[in-house]
């Protein structure tokens, strides 16, 4: 039986859990966190692990066995780049409705995750798509999103501040409309495209 | 039949019987049911993809060492459908180079080129073949890429994703961020090669 989207990744995670011989906790970011943690209807075939507590060997073996059992070619690897608001680690939470025996699956809080995907979305359109699908399931307040960005990310991140501000304005335009994006772009001093008539 | 299934899951009788069970027994039954529900392959490729969800799964998993394949299918037809859908779905387009690389020895590239041209998908196929060659280092598509170049000569650049043109902000980003090789295919993708390369690296050997 073929499962799709969240059900597919959950099937894979449960297979990992069944095959684990020791307790492991993982903090997952990226698309898998959006899909499993927030139920967004998106497709991802890779799980980016930012932090792991427990036996690496036991986890690696369980992942291998889970692939064989489920037939799913899901990549599981360390997150190489993760740009997020400054205090995100204090806000991580367990994925709702996913109780497993040995595997604990943690994800960033929704605004932290959305901002990390937005930061990555320059030149990666699927990240912006993922944020939008997350917004459909778990409404993101414009005020909270922008405030969190300005207070904990804009001047803290190692990324180019202008580029980051532009990607946030683009994301705000996608989520809340052109006028909202334009207002923010003007505030940040980044280019404002004209609305074609 | 149904009662046999229920019995195998540890469920017998109705609500009254269930209410009489103690907590430990209830937990045991729930855990047996959950194990049964989540066991077994989550993906079986047994036919041509029937809808967009199956197509996405097909592209993500077909040809992987772990995927369970029980039937042959029209690979070129599925590839063409994927090329078409990729313009609406950035998740699928991200997976296409891995898929093309996995099927590189299974399909006739000449047939794929001929059928794609007939369906006016020549530049899109050319873009993905070149992208696949760039991220994988595979040289077997070179002739097809070179032949498909003719299809892109003089083509007016268009936004690769249909939604991009609807948003002035995303159109501006696509104009600025599209790699030059994609522009040569007349496609404003707004997507870096690195975005495809990192995904390719993670899943190519599964």
CB contact under 8 A, A170 and B170: yes
CB contact under 8 A, B53 and A4: yes
Say if strands A46-54 and A75-78 run parallel, antiparallel, or are unpaired: parallel
A18, pLDDT greater than 70: yes
Looking at CA atoms only, how far is residue A71 from chain B in angstroms?
4
CB contact under 8 A, B191 and A8: no
Q: Which residue has the tokens 């899901």?
A: A74
Average pLDDT of span A108-117: 97
Average pLDDT of span A144-167: 89
Average pLDDT of span A138-152: 97
pLDDT of residue A1: 46
- Chain A residue with Cα closest to B86: A126
- Chain B residue with Cα closest to A67: B66
Looking at CA atoms only, how far is residue B146 from chain A in angstroms?
26
Looking at CA atoms only, how far is residue B12 from chain A in angstroms?
25
Q: Which of A72, A77, A133 to mutate to test the interface with B (most CBs of B within 10 A)?
A: A72
Nearest by CB to residue A193, choosing from B161, B171, B202, is B171
- Chain B residue with Cα closest to A195: B168
- Chain B residue with Cα closest to A169: B169
Range from A154-158, A168-172, B18-22 that averages highest in pLDDT = A168-172
Binning pLDDT at 50, 70 and 90, where does residue A43 land? confident
Rounded to whole angstroms, the Cα distance separating B105 from B110 reads: 12
Buried b (16+ CB within 10 A) or exposed e, B39-62: eebbbbbeebbeeebbbbbbbbbb
CB contact under 8 A, B92 and A1: no
Average pLDDT of span A64-81: 90
Token code pair at residue B98: 């891995």
Residue-wise pLDDT for B78-121, tens only, equals: 999 999 999 999 999 999 999 999 999 999 999 999 999 999 99
Diameter over CA atoms, chain A: 61
The residue ranges of chain B whose pLDDT is under 70 are: 1-13, 31, 34-44, 68-71
Token code pair at residue A67: 């692939």
What element of type H or E holds A179?
helix A178-188
pLDDT of residue B9: 59
CB contact under 8 A, B199 and A46: yes
On average, the pLDDT of chain A sits at 92
pLDDT of residue B23: 82
Whole-prediction pTM value? 0.87
Set of chain A residues whose Cβ sits within 8 Å of the Cβ of B194: 123
pLDDT of residue B34: 64
Residue-wise pLDDT for A75-104, tens only, equals: 999 987 889 999 999 999 999 888 899 999
Q: What was the ipTM of the complex prediction?
A: 0.89
Question: Which comes out higher in pLDDT, residue A188 or B7?
Answer: A188
Q: Does A170 contact B at CB distance below 8 Å?
A: yes
pLDDT of residue B144: 98
CB contact under 8 A, B54 and A15: no
A2, pLDDT greater than 60: no
Pairs across A and B, CB distance < 8 A? 135
């Amino acid at each position: 039986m073929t499962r799709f989207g969240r059900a597919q990744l959950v099937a894979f995670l449960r297979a990992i859990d069944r095959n684990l011989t020791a307790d492991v906790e993982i903090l997952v970011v990226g698309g898998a966190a959006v899909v499993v943690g927030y139920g967004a209807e998106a497709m991802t075939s890779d799980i980016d692990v930012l932090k792991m507590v427990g036996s690496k060997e036991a986890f690696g073996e369980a992942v291998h066995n889970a692939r064989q059992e489920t037939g799913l070619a899901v990549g599981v690897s360390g997150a190489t780049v993760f740009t997020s608001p400054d205090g995100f680690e204090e806000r991580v939470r367990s994925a709702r409705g996913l109780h497993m025996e040995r595997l604990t699956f943690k994800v960033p809080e929704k605004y932290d995750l959305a901002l990390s995907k937005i930061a990555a979305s320059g030149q990666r359109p699927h990240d912006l798509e993922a944020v939008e699908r997350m917004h459909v399931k778990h409404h993101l307040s414009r005020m909270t999103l922008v405030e969190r960005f300005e207070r904990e990310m804009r001047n803290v991140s190692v990324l180019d501040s202008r580029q980051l501000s532009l990607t946030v304005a683009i994301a705000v335009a996608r989520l809340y409309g052109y006028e909202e994006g334009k207002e923010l772009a003007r505030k940040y001093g980044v280019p404002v495209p004209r609305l074609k008539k | 039949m149904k009662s046999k299934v229920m019995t195998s899951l540890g469920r017998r009788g109705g609500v009254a019987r269930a209410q009489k069970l103690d907590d430990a027994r209830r937990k045991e039954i729930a855990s047996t049911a959950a194990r049964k529900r989540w066991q077994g392959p989550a993906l079986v490729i047994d036919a041509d993809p029937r809808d967009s969800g199956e197509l996405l799964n097909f592209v993500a998993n077909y040809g992987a060492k772990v995927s369970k394949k029980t039937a042959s299918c029209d690979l070129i037809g599925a590839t063409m459908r994927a090329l078409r859908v990729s313009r609406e779905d950035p998740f699928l387009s991200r997976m296409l180079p891995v898929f093309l690389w996995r099927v590189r020895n299974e399909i006739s590239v000449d047939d794929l080129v001929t059928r794609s041209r007939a369906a006016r998908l020549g530049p899109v196929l050319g873009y993905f073949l070149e992208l696949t060659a760039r991220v994988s280092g595979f040289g077997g598509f070179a002739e097809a890429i070179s032949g498909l170049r003719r299809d892109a000569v003089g083509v007016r650049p268009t936004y690769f994703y249909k939604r991009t043109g609807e948003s002035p902000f995303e159109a501006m980003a696509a104009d600025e961020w599209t790699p030059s090789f994609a522009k040569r295919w007349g496609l404003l993708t707004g997507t870096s090669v690195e975005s495809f390369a990192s995904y390719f690296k993670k899943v190519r050997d599964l």
